[in-house]
Chains A and B, each alone.
Chain A
Amino acid sequence: MKKLLLTLLAITVITACSTEKKEEVKTEAPVVVEKTSTNLEIVNGWIRPSSKGTNTAFFFDAVNGTDLDDTLLTVESDIAEVVQVHETYQADKGMMGMREVKGVAIPKGTTVNFKPRGLHIMLIKLKHDVKTGEEYKLKLNFAKNGSLEITAPVKDMLMKQTMGEHKH
């Protein structure tokens, strides 16, 4: 009986000391994977819903299957007053911030992910509500491969879903 009670006591103490602390977060860098196309392509594009006058973001994967290192310079869209290339970053004290980046390298034979908690296109001051189920055109301008026009759906994707959709 004494042994049993001592064992129970030990288990209780171990349980008491096993508090998890998961405050640590890191900004994820763009993932570079093997090329899947012989062209420069924009795949898995989606826009987060938001209301008129506010901001939202456009996410996608840029697949550079060409033999040219390229750079995404700018993005154009009719739905926002200003469109900028941004990245989310981790600042001091666990804070998260966001800043404009001038050009994102898309090396040949790689895919660069523009995804939540990382690179994204900021659609600033929306001209109207952007609702789930709608689709909008965007034009991406590259340094060497010219411009690509794509249509992206509006979705309210969760972190897990975006990670799931970035399997290659």
Chain B
Amino acid sequence: MKKILIPIALIFTFISCQEKFPILDSWGSKNYNLVNQDGDKVIFPHALKGKVSLVTYIFTNCPDICPLTTNNMRLIQERMKKEGINHVDLYSISFDPEVDTPPVLKKFAEMRDLNLSNWQFLTGDKKEIDDLIHQIGVFAVKGDSTVFEDGKTIYYYVHTDRISLVDKEGKIRKNYPGSTTNIDEVINDLKDFNE
């Protein structure tokens, strides 16, 4: 009896890990040509492989939700450092690449004194970005706008508020509500998750 129950217990333990971090989504075999805040090329999600990642989706003209999400990413990064979690990289992808060029993203990070040692802000061609986010169920739709005297228009996106936990194979294993993320929950997950 003992010989049977122990393997069963081990199988259930394995299943419990799969249950906690099931594969929710992935970019499949697709890769996207992006650039980071320094203008360096980043092949996404290929560049993520081999490390666990937290990925969020923002636009820098967002005055409310995206700054909260960015602050949560910063808090997670600070807690990771404090708790010795060093197997995780951070990525913020802009879904407004026409505005969010590398210099704009760099300034956005500098204004907030963000530590970019393991955190990259990514942008790219609009079509590439749209395809990338739609592939994993992230939405960003142009909503209200403001038209200036010089005829220029800026748009405010209605968008998904999310931070994704991505495994070493580039598959999404959990999503958190970006602007209201429970930092303790993320840190506990990162301690458990190193696949």
Q: Chain A interface (Cβ within 8 Å of chain B)?
A: 1-2, 5-6, 8-9, 12-13, 15-17, 19-20, 22-25, 48-51, 54-57, 81-82, 84, 86, 88, 91, 93-100, 116-117, 120, 122-125, 129, 131, 156, 158-159
Contact = CB atoms under 8 A, between A and B. Distances in A.
B20 interface: yes
A56 to B, nearest CB: 5
Nearest to B75: A158
B71 interface: yes
A94 B64 CA distance: 16
B30 to A, nearest CB: 22
Interface string B128-161: 0000000000010101101010000010111111
Contact of A96 (B2, B65, B107): B65
The 6 closest A-B pairs by CB, nearest first: A16-B16, A97-B158, A57-B63, A5-B5, A12-B12, A25-B177
Contacts of A131: 111
A88 B66 CA distance: 12
B177 A82 contact: no
B1 A99 contact: no
B19 A98 contact: no
B8 interface: yes
Contacts of B43: none
A95 to B, nearest CB: 5
A151 B183 CA distance: 33
B12 A16 contact: yes
Contacts of B26: none
B64 A51 contact: no
8 contacts: A16-B15, A50-B111, A88-B64, A93-B139, A94-B160, A95-B158, A98-B65, A99-B143
A84 B161 contact: no
Q: Which of A2, A20, A99, A116 has the most CB of B within 10 A?
A: A116
Contacts of B33: none
Nearest to B110: A51
Contacts of B72: 159
Q: Which of A17, A97, A123 has the most CB of B within 10 A?
A: A97
Nearest to B149: A81
Given A13-B12, A95-B159, A99-B143, A5 B20 contact: no
Nearest to B182: A22
B177 A23 contact: yes
